[in-house]
Homo-oligomer: A and B are copies of this chain.
Amino acid sequence: MPGSIETVAIFGVGLIGGSFALALRKAGFEGRIVGVSSPATIDRAVEWKIIDAGAAEAEAASTADLIYLAEPIHRILERLSNLNRSVRPEALITDVGSTKSTIVERASREIDRCQFLGGHPLAGKERRGIEAADADLFAGRKYVLTPRSSADTSTPMAACFIDWIGKIGAIPVLADPEEHDRAVAYTSHLPQLASTALAALLPEKGRTIDISGPALLDMTRLALSPFETWHDIFTTNKPAIQQALSNYIRTLQAFSVMLDSQRMREQFERAAAAAKRLRPDD
């Protein structure tokens, strides 16, 4: 029997937190949504009818059925150390941090008065902040959940939360936290570093800017990302990222050796096959 979510407390009413509030409303959520954010953000979020009201941490935590932590990872970790004393036993705490092992481990040490279920919606935008909040941000996107055991997704409140994930158009995907972190090291963190390294090499070459085409634009788009988000990711997923970097470097070294041989054909074919698998609809 699914539980019922009457009050949601969103910690961090930015792109993700604000979009989750808008998406809930669009999907028919009729309960109360409170926000924990800076006064300026709360003012805008209330004015724009994204949330019903602002609240202090303890007040929000003590009244919410769903506590949605949508701040940067280091703030999520701080919240987890504070929330336990205030939460209601029926509540569910979830988060949107893009690394999971550190957060899930912290939650399992700090949260014992209610349930915690880690999450990572694979949704984003180049722009951030509440101004970019969008009721359709999650539509058609995967929403990873990282239960510690299968029981974690079948409690009444977790079942209800997962139900809402489906109603906002997202696709719930279950993963072990460590498995998640190893995967995103390859699919998100390594691509970011590969793009940043490529762009970081450019200023050293005098003419490169003059002779470049659309390929370089594709490959340096991620390099525009602000460092703030990434520092938390690098801090909380260091071994997996270093492992991915090491494999990537080894692959590039092999490419350099076989560069003008036909053995490169096999690498291109394997890479093209993997790239095609990522685009099942093309």
- Would you call A75 an interface residue if the criterion is a C-beta within 8 Å of the partner chain's C-beta atoms? no
Give the distance to chain B from A103, nearest Cβ to Cβ, in Å.
Answer: 16
Per-position binary interface string of chain A over residues 241-282, scored 1 when its CB falls under 8 Å from any chain B CB and 0 otherwise: 110111111011101100110101101111111111111000
Per-position binary interface string of chain A over residues 110-148, scored 1 when its CB falls under 8 Å from any chain B CB and 0 otherwise: 000000000000111000000000000000011010000
How far, in whole Å, are A173 and B195 apart by their CA atoms in the complex? 26
Quick one: which of A187-245 are within 8 Å of B by CB? 187-188, 190-203, 205, 207-227, 230-231, 234-235, 238, 241-242, 244-245
Q: Which 7 A-B pairs have the closest CB atoms?
A: A199-B271, A187-B212, A227-B268, A191-B219, A223-B275, A202-B274, A122-B213
Q: A interface vs B, CB < 8 Å?
A: 122-124, 141-142, 144, 173, 175, 179-180, 182-184, 186-188, 190-203, 205, 207-227, 230-231, 234-235, 238, 241-242, 244-249, 251-253, 255-256, 259-260, 262, 264-265, 267-279
Q: A183-B205, A187-B208, A251-B200 are in contact. Are A259 and B275 (CB under 8 A)?
A: no
Inter-chain contact A234/B211, CB cutoff 8 Å? no
How far, in whole Å, are A221 and B214 apart by their CA atoms in the complex? 11
How far, in whole Å, are A231 and B260 apart by their CA atoms in the complex? 6
Give the distance to chain B from A152, nearest Cβ to Cβ, in Å.
Answer: 18
How far, in whole Å, are A209 and B238 apart by their CA atoms in the complex? 21
Which of B142, B180, B203, B274 is the one whose CB lies under 8 Å from A270?
A: B203
Inter-chain contact B231/A200, CB cutoff 8 Å? no
Inter-chain contact A218/B222, CB cutoff 8 Å? yes
Q: Which residues on B sit within 8 Å (CB–CB) of A249?
A: 249, 252-253, 256
How far, in whole Å, are A186 and B219 apart by their CA atoms in the complex? 11
Q: Which residues on B sit within 8 Å (CB–CB) of A242?
A: 256, 259
Inter-chain contact A245/B255, CB cutoff 8 Å? yes
Give the distance to chain B from A58, nearest Cβ to Cβ, in Å.
Answer: 32
How far, in whole Å, are A207 and B200 apart by their CA atoms in the complex? 30
How far, in whole Å, are A124 and B192 apart by their CA atoms in the complex? 25
Known: A191-B215, A209-B278. 20 other contacts (CB 8 A): A173-B211, A175-B210, A183-B208, A184-B211, A186-B208, A194-B198, A198-B271, A199-B275, A200-B271, A202-B277, A202-B278, A218-B222, A221-B275, A223-B272, A224-B276, A227-B264, A227-B265, A238-B259, A245-B255, A249-B252
